[in-house]
A and B are shown apart, each in its own frame.
Chain A
Amino acid sequence: MQVNHTKKLVSNLKRATVIRGKWNGTKYHVIHKLGEGACGVVYLCERNGIETALKLGTDSARITTEVNVLKSFQRVQGKRLGPSLLDVDDWVTPGGITLPFYVMEYVKGQELATFLHGKGSEWLGVLLLQLLMDLGNLHESGWVFGDLKTDNLLVTSPPPRLRLIDVGGTTQIGRAIKEYTEFYDRGYWLKGSRKAEPSYDLFAVTMIMLEVGGRGRFERGSDPRQTLERKLQQATALKPFTPLINNVWAGNYQNGLEMREDLVNLLQRRPEPKKRNMPVSTRTSRRKKTKKTSFATFEIGAIFVSVIIFYLIYMLFFL
């Protein structure tokens, strides 16, 4: 009963409620609710005329875990891996209950699907480049985002920029994924483990693509892998990205930057005048290409050598 009561309290704060920090004494005025997560509720608040996002929770341990992640991002803030952390404190409610909270920079933006509505697939490509850059940096600093989903993405503008907002699932590489959402989870689709590896995030990226490029989320059905293949075929908007997605599903990328590289090649490719476009440089085809070149070099070399031999014999004969 007590727990339910506290949860209700946390998610029903009225406008102009004052949240005063027990340790730092900073006052925040509630404007409205921004969203509700697994371990707390995020409110838009105002502090000295500045808008901030305040996450109020019931479980001190989980709030602390998230703060730890935000703090470690702070150390590489030059690369901007998530919203910056402004304050961490407790609020003692008028009823005497102590609730933990932390305050972040308020990221104001549009949902991904709203932003993409009515725009061409080049915009999806551009935003994906940004996302993969952020993920790549995250991976390089030893983290996996984990709970990557459209709810945790916002497009700020101008200029349009995709931002990661909820870091609750962020996990150190090599550990077990802390938090996930089934639709984006490769384990759920029988496409791999729940170990925090960069490729875990990349799978979630492909699911975001299927969601916004197709018709939203879907059930896994009796044969999850087949369902994925079918949905990919049905999503006509994703046609240019099909080889990229298949590469992720085949586990061909080690981290976000590798996938980004292929996406860059794919987006910058100009339509060729004569033949129909050949698929992107998939990892395998690239390998084949290199093989082909080396074979060609070998051929040229062989011809060259035989010409010289022929010439030498010719010279000897006539000497």
Chain B
Amino acid sequence: MKKGTLKQILLLTDGCSNQGEDPVAIAALANNQGITVNVIGIIDDDQSEQPEGLEEVEAIAMSGGGVSQIVYQQALSQTVQMVTKQAMTQTLQGVVNQELKQILGEKKTFEELPPDKRGEVMEVVEDLGETCDLEVLVLVDTSASMTPKLATVKDALFDLSLSLNARSGNNRFSIFSFPDKKAPIHKLMDWTPHLDGISKIFPKLASGGITPTGPAIKEAIYQFGKKGLFGSMKDASEPYEETGF
């Protein structure tokens, strides 16, 4: 199988959207464009595990074809890398499942293979996960309630680049925040392979009051089309864009 690029939006938030389009619908739009939307809901240490308003987290990820998780601040680093990797495997497995269907007939998926055969398929998925290129656009909610959590977010993102840069495939990260006074999202860091410079940008973050999650995701989709760093940018309707060697 050819080497390709996986595209992901990683949304970090602590509450419900309250302005603009429905983020669940926009996430479906992103998924349709070959972009996976993962969502991490961050809760305060004194909050219960199922706080109100965070149901949206699961719904956005589900319609965005991604993975969601609600975590306490202290577990953020490990969750961010886990969610990203899990979503990669999920997407790649989806692609492999597609191919399986073509080879084995309509109703065969990974789970329906006998355990012996699954092993071989999984080896392919793992190889792809190790070698494929990955683009992650991080979308940080900086509404007022997030302010005390931003230091943890910074650490978690640095840690994410540590995890992903241990792979053989290339990585590109970019970081955007929302809300912003002038535009739906505000660029904090342009596409870059490492997040070493992250410490410099985070103290500059200003918090706002509203949470327009839908418009933010919509604008994030556009950011993938904007840059041409990774070879050809075809109209990607598949989640796994094959660019060849």
Name A's B-contacting residues (CB within 8 A). 23, 60-61, 64-65, 67-68, 71, 88-90, 98, 100, 174-177, 182, 187-188, 193-196
Expressed in whole angstroms, the minimum distance between the Cβ of B192 and any Cβ of chain A is 18
Expressed in whole angstroms, the minimum distance between the Cβ of B96 and any Cβ of chain A is 10
Q: Check A61–B115 contact: CB distance below 8 A.
A: no
CA distance A177 to B119 in the complex (A): 19
Q: Check B125–A193 contact: CB distance below 8 A.
A: no
| Residues on A with beta carbons closer than 8 Å to the beta carbon of B163 | 176-177, 187, 194
| Residues on A with beta carbons closer than 8 Å to the beta carbon of B168 | 174-175
Task: Decide if B52 is an interface residue (CB 8 Å cutoff).
Answer: no
Task: Decide if B238 is an interface residue (CB 8 Å cutoff).
Answer: no
CA distance A147 to B168 in the complex (A): 20
Given contacts A61-B122, A174-B168, A177-B163, 18 further A-B contacts (CB under 8 A): A23-B115, A61-B93, A64-B115, A64-B118, A64-B119, A64-B122, A65-B126, A68-B122, A68-B123, A88-B115, A90-B111, A100-B111, A175-B130, A176-B130, A176-B164, A176-B166, A188-B77, A193-B165
Q: Check B111–A193 contact: CB distance below 8 A.
A: no
Expressed in whole angstroms, the minimum distance between the Cβ of A189 and any Cβ of chain B is 11
Task: Decide if B191 is an interface residue (CB 8 Å cutoff).
Answer: no
Total contacting residues, chain B, CB less than 8 A:
25
| Residues on B with beta carbons closer than 8 Å to the beta carbon of A90 | 111, 115
Expressed in whole angstroms, the minimum distance between the Cβ of A192 and any Cβ of chain B is 10
CA distance A89 to B121 in the complex (A): 16
Could you write out 5 A-B pairs with CB less than 8 Å apart? A61-B93, A61-B110, A67-B115, A177-B166, A194-B166
Expressed in whole angstroms, the minimum distance between the Cβ of A79 and any Cβ of chain B is 22
Chain B, range 143-172, C-beta contacts under 8 Å to A = 159, 162-168
Task: Decide if B244 is an interface residue (CB 8 Å cutoff).
Answer: no
Other-chain residue from B77, B78, B111, B166 in contact with A98 (beta carbon distance below 8 A): B111
Chain B, range 115-148, C-beta contacts under 8 Å to A = 115-116, 118-119, 121-123, 125-126, 130
Q: Nearest B residue to A102 by beta-carbon distance?
A: B115
Kindly name the residue among B121, B125, B163 whose own CB sees the greatest number of chain A CB atoms within 10 A: B163
Expressed in whole angstroms, the minimum distance between the Cβ of B92 and any Cβ of chain A is 9
Task: Decide if B105 is an interface residue (CB 8 Å cutoff).
Answer: no
| Residues on A with beta carbons closer than 8 Å to the beta carbon of B93 | 61
Task: Decide if B114 is an interface residue (CB 8 Å cutoff).
Answer: yes
Mask: chain B, 93-116; 1 = CB below 8 Å from A; 0 = not: 100000000000000001100111
Other-chain residue from A61, A67, A187 in contact with B159 (beta carbon distance below 8 A): A187
Mask: chain B, 35-52; 1 = CB below 8 Å from A; 0 = not: 000000000000000000
CA distance A89 to B115 in the complex (A): 6
Query: How many A-B residue pairs lie within 8 Å, measured between CB atoms?
Result: 59
| Residues on B with beta carbons closer than 8 Å to the beta carbon of A182 | 77-78
Task: Decide if B207 is an interface residue (CB 8 Å cutoff).
Answer: no
| Residues on A with beta carbons closer than 8 Å to the beta carbon of B33 | none
| Residues on B with beta carbons closer than 8 Å to the beta carbon of A175 | 130, 166-168
| Residues on A with beta carbons closer than 8 Å to the beta carbon of B167 | 175-176
Q: Check A187–B89 contact: CB distance below 8 A.
A: no
| Residues on A with beta carbons closer than 8 Å to the beta carbon of B77 | 182, 188
| Residues on B with beta carbons closer than 8 Å to the beta carbon of A193 | 162, 165-166
Q: Check B166–A195 contact: CB distance below 8 A.
A: yes
| Residues on A with beta carbons closer than 8 Å to the beta carbon of B111 | 60, 90, 98, 100
| Residues on B with beta carbons closer than 8 Å to the beta carbon of A61 | 89, 93, 110, 122, 125
CA distance A90 to B121 in the complex (A): 17
CA distance A89 to B110 in the complex (A): 14
Q: Nearest A residue to B116 by beta-carbon distance?
A: A88
Known contacts A67-B115, A68-B122, A176-B167: A60-B162 contact under CB 8 Å: no
| Residues on B with beta carbons closer than 8 Å to the beta carbon of A196 | 166
| Residues on B with beta carbons closer than 8 Å to the beta carbon of A188 | 77, 159
Q: Nearest A residue to B125 by beta-carbon distance?
A: A61
Q: Nearest A residue to B115 by beta-carbon distance?
A: A88
Expressed in whole angstroms, the minimum distance between the Cβ of A82 and any Cβ of chain B is 16
CA distance A61 to B114 in the complex (A): 13
| Residues on B with beta carbons closer than 8 Å to the beta carbon of A64 | 115, 118-119, 121-122
| Residues on B with beta carbons closer than 8 Å to the beta carbon of A67 | 115, 118-119
CA distance A114 to B167 in the complex (A): 37
| Residues on A with beta carbons closer than 8 Å to the beta carbon of B110 | 60-61
Expressed in whole angstroms, the minimum distance between the Cβ of A59 and any Cβ of chain B is 9
| Residues on A with beta carbons closer than 8 Å to the beta carbon of B164 | 176
| Residues on B with beta carbons closer than 8 Å to the beta carbon of A194 | 162-163, 166
CA distance A13 to B166 in the complex (A): 38
| Residues on A with beta carbons closer than 8 Å to the beta carbon of B121 | 64
Q: Nearest B residue to A65 by beta-carbon distance?
A: B122
CA distance A194 to B89 in the complex (A): 18
Kindly name the residue among B89, B122, B164 whose own CB sees the greatest number of chain A CB atoms within 10 A: B122
Expressed in whole angstroms, the minimum distance between the Cβ of B240 and any Cβ of chain A is 16
| Residues on B with beta carbons closer than 8 Å to the beta carbon of A68 | 119, 122-123
CA distance A90 to B110 in the complex (A): 13
| Residues on A with beta carbons closer than 8 Å to the beta carbon of B115 | 23, 64, 67, 88-90, 100
CA distance A90 to B114 in the complex (A): 9
CA distance A182 to B13 in the complex (A): 23
